[in-house]
């Protein structure tokens, strides 16, 4: 396939070299004449294991060329990968200057092109950037509309500097964001020789996946460091602790707990987080991430309450009130907090939970509910149908 790669930084150079080494005819496009000259002389403009050999071989075989002309890159190819930088500005927002300029240049180059062309964005951009910023610029300057001779996809890269070539050929996944079914077929065809799960999704979801991945990677590093700092202060081998932690692939390193939903609660997680934060404070260890977990959970609960209140319906029903299914444990259940707050605001609440009966509550469980909802028995109904009949919102 004939492919142009716009932006010859780390992602662009590695992408161009690997695409050409896979047999594609590649044109690298960059405004920096030195980078272009480097590619055309068979040398990589970056330092990265193996990429110099890939560039040299591809250039010698005539599979890789570079130019400063966007028009030349577009006219000689059918697919364009956009790999320009999107650096942070002082306020944390993305600087889209390079992307906007590339979209203008590509649009102008496409104006007189008669054959279909697919533009694939690899640059990391916030959800909505491709559809709300890039596509309008492309359409304006090309005179074309997406889906009619012009096709746009989003294909996030998962390359790590230092292992980029290896990561290109052995990615954890291939994600292709498309506006309409079938528009990403050309991208999937390009990666046909690579063994990895291929996921087709919306452009916005594909954009968000990259941020979700990077945020989680950063969170993992910070979590491990905070646990390590606590261990160090307590004279515990932090590597031994985390080695044991990582051996748990049922709960710790798995899909469990990674589905968006309601807040956590129960007799363990809140209590243990408070104890860990207390221990860190007592030993003068700063753990801002660990300290923020309960705060974030509280914000989530507050958001649910606000949504219910915002509906303007005074009769609210709850199908379940424990912190998780198949238990009668009400201790620190986030639903108890929601119910208690709504009652305080004058809402009429009914609850159906097959596992909860005030006559069977004992010990700490009984004391907790007597403190928060002492008249619970008057709120419980015997059948789910009774709840539906009584409530305006369930």
Question: What residues are labeled active site?
Answer: 268
Cβ proximity of 380 and 356 under 8 Å: yes
79-82 and 64-67 as β-strands: parallel, antiparallel, unpaired?
unpaired
How many degrees, rounded to 5, is the angle at CA 271 between CA 380 and CA 309? 45
Cα 47 to Cα 14, 39, 43, 161, distances in angstroms: 10, 13, 10, 9
Residue 343, burial from CB neighbour count under 10 angstroms (0-12, 13-18, 19+): middle
Q: Under DSSP, is residue 193 helix (H, G, I), strand (E, B) or coil?
A: coil
CA gap 39, 64 in Å, rounded: 8
**Residue 346 per-residue DSSP state:** T
Residue matched to tokens 């996921």: 199
Strands 198-201 and 79-82: unpaired
Find the DSSP H helices in 114-259. Answer: 129, 135-142, 164-169, 185-190, 203-233, 238-247
Q: Which of 174, 223, 218 is nearest to 195 (CA)?
A: 174
Number of Cβ within a 10 Å radius of residue 39: 28
| Element at 364 (helix H, strand E) | helix 363-372
The rounded radius of gyration (Å) of the Cα atoms in the chain is: 28
Structure tokens at 193: 């020789």
Query: How many Cβ atoms from other residues are within 10 Å of residue 154's Cβ?
Result: 32
- Bridge-based pairing of strands 2-6 and 25-29 is parallel
């Amino acid at each position: 396939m004939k492919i142009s790669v716009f932006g010859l930084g780390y992602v662009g150079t590695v992408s161009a070299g690997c695409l050409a080494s896979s047999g594609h005819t590649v044109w690298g496009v960059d405004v920096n004449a030195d980078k272009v000259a480097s590619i055309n002389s068979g040398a990589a403009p970056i330092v990265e294991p193996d990429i110099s050999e890939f560039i040299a071989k591809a250039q010698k075989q005539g599979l890789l060329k570079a130019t400063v002309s966007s028009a030349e890159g577009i006219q000689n190819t059918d697919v364009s990968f956009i790999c320009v930088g999107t650096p942070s500005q002082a306020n944390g927002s993305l600087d889209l200057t390079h992307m906007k300029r590339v979209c203008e240049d590509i649009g102008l180059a496409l104006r007189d092109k008669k054959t279909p062309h697919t533009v694939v964005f690899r640059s990391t951009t916030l959800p909505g950037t491709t559809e709300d910023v890039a596509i309008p610029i492309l359409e304006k300057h090309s005179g074309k509309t997406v889906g009619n001779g012009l096709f746009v996809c989003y294909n996030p890269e998962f390359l790590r500097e230092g292992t980029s070539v290896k990561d290109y050929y052995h990615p954890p996944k291939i994600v292709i964001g498309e506006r309409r079914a079938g528009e990403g077929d050309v991208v999937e065809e390009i990666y046909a020789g690579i063994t990895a799960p291929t996921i087709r999704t919306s452009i916005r979801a594909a954009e968000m996946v990259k941020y979700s991945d990077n945020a989680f990677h950063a969170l993992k590093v910070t979590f491990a460091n905070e646990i390590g700092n606590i261990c160090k202060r307590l004279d515990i081998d932090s590597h031994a602790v985390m080695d044991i932690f990582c051996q748990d692939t049922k709960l710790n390193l798995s899909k469990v707990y990674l589905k968006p939903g309601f807040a956590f609660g129960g007799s363990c997680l809140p209590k243990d987080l408070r104890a860990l934060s207390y221990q860190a404070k007592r030993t003068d260890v700063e753990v801002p991430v660990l300290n923020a977990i309960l705060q974030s959970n509280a914000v989530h609960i507050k958001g649910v309450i606000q949504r219910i209140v915002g509906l303007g319906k005074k009769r609210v029903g709850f199908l379940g009130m424990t912190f998780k299914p198949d238990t009668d444990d009400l201790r620190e259940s986030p639903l108890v907090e929601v119910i208690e707050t709504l009652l305080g605001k004058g809402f009429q609440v009914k609850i159906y939970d097959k596992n909860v009966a005030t006559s069977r509550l004992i010990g700490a469980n009984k004391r907790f509910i007597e403190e928060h909802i002492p008249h619970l028995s008057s709120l419980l109904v015997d059948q789910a149908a009774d709840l539906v009949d009584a409530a305006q919102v369930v």
